[in-house]
Structure 1
Amino acid sequence: MDQQELAHILIILVGLLRAVGIASIVALIFLGARIRFIFLTAILTVGGIFTTVLSFLLGILSFTHAVVYELFAIGSIMGMLYYAYKDKKSAPPPKPSENTRCAFCSALIRENRDYFVLKCEDQYLFFDSEEHMKEFLKNIEEQRKFRKLDIGKPECYYSKTNGKWIQLKQEEVRVQETD
């Protein structure tokens, strides 16, 4: 292959990098990822495009090195997207305000004490003890009606002491499926 054919192949790879980079930036924005992931993805995308094409056209990089660099940039962007997703999933819940109350007993939640946060789709319910949270989960349908709660299916809970999200087991949640 001559230089011009190789340049055409490289421009196609650059287009792929641009498409992956732009799609990743949009996905990161909608994911609500930290701004550093968005900037790093943009830098990798723009830097990869200019570095590869200009280096190849100026004769600094061979075609093989330019392709390897492009694939590295695409892999790095995909890795960044995965890491940002994992970072977002493991982020702690919002801190309780001074007026936040336990969803079970209505006691005030204190930030300096241990508390539990139940994640129900996009909503968070705070509890002052694990027992209250488990009792709430046992009778969740009654609690929804009694407290007039419009919450989704419980997914996981956060313990301030452990500092991490814990997935709920199916037997812990007694939710009636409604359509």
Structure 2
Amino acid sequence: MSFDAVTLGHILIVVARLLEMFSFGVVLLFVFKGVAIKHVFLTAGVTVGGILISIFGYLGNFLSPFASFAVDVFVFSLVIAIAFYAFMEKREFRIKPPPPPPKGVRCPVCGGFVKSEDDYAVAREGKDLLYFDSKEHLESFLENFQEYKKLRKLNFRRVEDFYIKGSKGWKKVEDLGDRSYNKLHEV
């Protein structure tokens, strides 16, 4: 091998390690952004598998630096594809309205039955949903969350999003900020 091929091989190995670090960064991003756990594990598995093949293949003289780099580029491409799919799935989850209230579901504020023909509202934490028979009851629930949580023995830690029948997708509770929950009436 010439000097240039050896130097290029070392440069490719360094770039391959940078791609691996970026892949682990994507795993951490998934964790902090609340992406589905299946995507976290899939990305972590693909990344670790690629690292093991690349490093042990190179150190065991089964792969040249160029082949090791090619493995890492392939794994990096898979990670980017998984990231794209995961964020598109998360986006679809945020836009898609909730299903109509199931039969027999009760409002956690008044205890009345929530019907699909009512102007119902929905609160969400992750994939868990709470249905309310009116947006006023959702507002009351948000203003007195800890009291209702104890009273109804709810497993909600916090409400992340809310939906009001007829609106365009979910709204983040944090978007309300310090403003009064009366802003729900503007939705």
TM-score by length of 2: 0.53
Offset at residue 117 of structure 1 (A): 4.9
Q: Which residue of 2 aligns with 1:87?
A: 89
| Residue in structure 1 matching 2:24, options 22, 25, 34 | 22
| Residue in structure 2 matching 1:33, options 23, 31, 35 | 35
Q: Which has the higher helix share?
A: 2
Residue 114 of structure 2 aligns to a residue in which SS?
A: coil
Offset at residue 77 of structure 1 (A): 0.8
CA distance in 2, matches of 1:6, 1:12: 10
Residue 126 of structure 1 aligns to a residue in which SS?
A: strand
Aligned AA (1:50): L
Distance 1:79 1:117, change over 3 A: farther
Offset at residue 101 of structure 1 (A): 0.4
Q: Is the counterpart of residue 149 in structure 1 residue 154 in structure 2?
A: no
CA distance in 2, matches of 1:34, 1:114: 32
Residue 167 of structure 1 aligns to a residue in which SS?
A: coil
CA RMSD of aligned residues (A): 4.6
In the TM superposition, what whole-angstrom CA distance separates every residue of 1:73-113 from its partner, at most 9, and x where no partner exists?
A: 112112212222232341786997x774077x862237xx7
Q: Which residue of 2 aligns with 1:126?
A: 131
In the alignment of these two chains, the number of paired residues is: 151
The percentage of aligned residue pairs carrying the same residue is 23
Q: Is the 8 A contact 2:35 2:90 kept in 1?
A: yes
CA distance in 2, matches of 1:2, 1:40: 37
In the TM superposition, what whole-angstrom CA distance separates every residue of 1:40-94 from its partner, at most 9, and x where no partner exists?
A: 212221222232344455254572x543432221121122122222323417869
Q: Which residue of 2 aligns with 1:108?
A: 113
Aligned AA (1:73): V
TM-score by length of 1: 0.55
Unaligned runs of 5+ in 2: 146-158, 171-183
Q: Is the 8 A contact 2:125 2:160 kept in 1?
A: yes
Aligned AA (2:88): K
Q: Which residue of 1 aligns with 2:14?
A: 12
Residue 27 of structure 2 aligns to a residue in which SS?
A: helix
Unaligned runs of 5+ in 1: 160-164
Q: Which residue of 2 aligns with 1:47?
A: 49
CA distance in 1, matches of 2:72, 2:10: 14
CA distance in 2, matches of 1:108, 1:42: 44
| Residue in structure 1 matching 2:186, options 159, 165, 175 | 175
